[in-house]
């Protein structure tokens, strides 16, 4: 959603690189570019004016510290101000001291309230160890009750739906009876799904206010479609005046809209964004962290969210066993079965494009990520499943006839099977070296990594290389050159870089420098 905004901000910062000092003209030009970027992202005009004024004031004053170049100085200020307009600190749900905690969802029709009710219930059940119940109080929209029942079944959460809906029943009475049901069966959280309209009207506000008075909610969450731009701010203000709400949930953050709602609502309404829904699956639901979102917008990644997703997806005991295999006997105990298990664990974290997008500098190879075919993982799984247990344990025994059989069984080409086996050996070698504290093969002197000796180690490597001549036997013999190890900053063939399976995949410049490139 924030791709366009991120690109425009990156272009604005790029003009500052190479400058030794931040002048008034630089500040004026950069803030003008930032203002245009925010307006194009559909951020509310009052928010833009306030944001730009703060950046200009801080960049011109004593807030600029020495030791940072002009681009870094401005990025630091913009990052801090972005965190501010996104709400500052992360806000948690208020849980009632005397259960059940009542959460009421409000918003326009089509904002995604019903699906979000299931996502929120699943999140509370799995991460907060609560026992939630969903209440079908949307009796206006056709099949809204049925949809909530389907969502509840998928989430593994009970649904209280005494009325069929489709215009039949009293939503206020349903909400009141739901509270009695929750207390008698000792549910810890009640999530009330209310009706929406295509627009804000008096009837909608009155019904929402009556339900609010009937259940006395601990939290009223306003669900807003992040794709409707500045209208989201107008609607939010209308709900705030008519019903009131305590927090905001942004839905459809995976859309291709400009994202101005996320940057405007908290500042205009004074209510923080608490959750973000970024997909159709029930797992596509996250706590909204202003600092992490600001980091994503500025192209600095979101490593903390990536770590949290990994912790939820990976089994600690299984990961420890895998690490032990990689540390012994040069990693030879690490089999294709282990490789497949690790790959499946990564897939549980979500689409690979989303995972890689959380890495710092990912915006620099955005086009490659967008063109990545997720079905390639399915083909790899098919190839491995077509192997015998002995072949998965020791891929060295896979000869020509075995490759032909595996290719036929998996519906792929022999070259695909050969490429997978080769990439497996390369990946195993790299992972084994890292697990054993030897650093990444072919990347001597990598700063901050085990085995990396910095500049001195790099000079020693160069001296040794000169002494023994070319490391390529074919070159020494005068024959045709064979593929060499990837250069620093270039990915190995196993990961789409140089070599026989090479591609056009390029690492970010900053990462290339970190790996020892020029």
**Annotated binding-site residue numbers for GTP:** 107-114, 193-197, 251-254
CA 133 – CA 101 distance, rounded (Å): 11
Residues annotated within a binding site: 107-114, 193-197, 251-254
Q: Which residues neighbour 246 within 8 Å (Cβ) at sequence distance 6 or greater?
A: 94, 219, 220, 221, 271
DSSP 322: H
DSSP secondary structure string, 68-126?
S-HHHHHHHHHHHHHHHHTTSS--PPPPPSSSPEEEEEE--TTS-HHHHHHHHHHHHHH
Q: Residue 53, exposed/middle/buried by CB under 10 A (0-12, 13-18, 19+)?
A: exposed
Count of CA atoms in the C-beta half-sphere (13 A) of 107: 30
User: In 186-270, which residue ranges form alpha helices assigned H by DSSP?
Assistant: 202-215, 231-242, 260-269
The string over 90-106, giving b where at least 16 C-beta atoms fall within 10 Å of a residue's C-beta and e elsewhere, is ebebebeeebbbbbbbb
For residue 362, the Cα-to-chain-centroid distance in whole angstroms is 12
DSSP 165: B
Q: Residue 21, exposed/middle/buried by CB under 10 A (0-12, 13-18, 19+)?
A: exposed
Are the beta carbons of 106 and 122 closer than 8 angstroms?
Answer: no
Q: Residue 219 has which token pair? A: 């939290």
CA 495 – CA 111 distance, rounded (Å): 39
């Amino acid at each position: 959603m924030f791709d366009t905004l991120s690109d425009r901000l990156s272009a604005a910062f790029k003009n500052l690189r190479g400058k030794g000092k931040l002048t008034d003209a630089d500040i004026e030009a950069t803030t003008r570019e930032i203002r245009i970027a925010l307006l194009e992202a559909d951020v509310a005009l009052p928010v833009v004016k306030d944001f730009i004024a703060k950046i200009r004031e801080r960049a011109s004053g004593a807030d600029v510290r020495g030791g940072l170049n002009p681009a870094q100085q401005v990025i630091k200020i913009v990052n801090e101000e972005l965190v501010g307009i996104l709400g500052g600190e992360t806000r948690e749900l208020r849980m009632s001291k005397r259960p059940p905690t009542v959460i009421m969802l409000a918003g326009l029709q089509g904002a995604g309230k019903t699906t979000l009710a299931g996502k929120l219930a699943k999140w509370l059940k799995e991460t907060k160890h609560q026992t939630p119940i969903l209440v079908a109080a949307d009796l206006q929209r056709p099949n809204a009750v049925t949809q909530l029942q389907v969502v509840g079944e998928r989430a593994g959460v009970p649904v209280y739906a005494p009325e069929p809906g489709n215009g039949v029943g009293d939503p206020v009475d349903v909400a009141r009876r739901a509270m009695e049901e929750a207390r008698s069966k000792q549910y810890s959280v009640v999530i009330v799904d209310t009706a929406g309209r295509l627009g804000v009207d008096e009837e909608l506000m009155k019904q929402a206010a009556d339900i609010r008075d009937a259940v006395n909610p601990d939290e009223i969450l306003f669900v807003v479609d992040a794709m409707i731009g500045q209208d989201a701010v107008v609607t939010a203000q209308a709900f705030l005046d008519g019903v009131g709400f305590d927090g905001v949930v942004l839905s459809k953050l995976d859309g291709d809209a400009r994202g101005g709602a996320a940057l405007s609502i908290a500042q205009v309404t004074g209510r923080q964004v608490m959750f973000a829904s970024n997909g159709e699956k029930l797992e596509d639901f996250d706590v909204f962290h202003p600092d992490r979102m600001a980091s994503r917008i500025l192209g600095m990644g979101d490593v903390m969210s990536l770590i949290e997703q990994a912790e939820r997806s990976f089994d600690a005991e299984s990961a420890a066993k895998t690490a032990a295999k990689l540390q012994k006997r040069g990693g030879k105990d690490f089999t294709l079965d282990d490789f497949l298990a690790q790959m499946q664990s990564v897939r549980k974290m979500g689409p690979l494009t989303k995972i890689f997008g959380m890495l710092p500098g990912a915006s620099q190879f955005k086009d490659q990520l967008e063109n990545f075919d997720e079905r390639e993982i399915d083909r790899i799984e098919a190839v491995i499943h077509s192997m015998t247990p002995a072949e998965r344990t020791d891929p060295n025994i896979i000869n020509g006839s075995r490759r032909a059989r595996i290719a036929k069984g998996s519906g792929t080409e022999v070259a695909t099977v050969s490429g997978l086996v080769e990439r497996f050996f390369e990946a195993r070698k790299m992972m084994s070296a890292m697990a054993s504290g030897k650093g990444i093969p072919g990347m001597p002197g990598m700063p901050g990594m085990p085995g990396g000796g910095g500049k001195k180690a790099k000079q020693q490597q160069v001296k040794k290389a000169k002494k023994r001549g070319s490391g390529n036997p074919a070159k020494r013999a005068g024959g045709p050159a064979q593929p060499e190890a990837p250069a620093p900053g270039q990915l190995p063939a196993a990961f789409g870089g140089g070599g026989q399976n090479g591609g056009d995949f390029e690492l970010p410049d900053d990462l290339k420098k970190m790996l020892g490139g020029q």
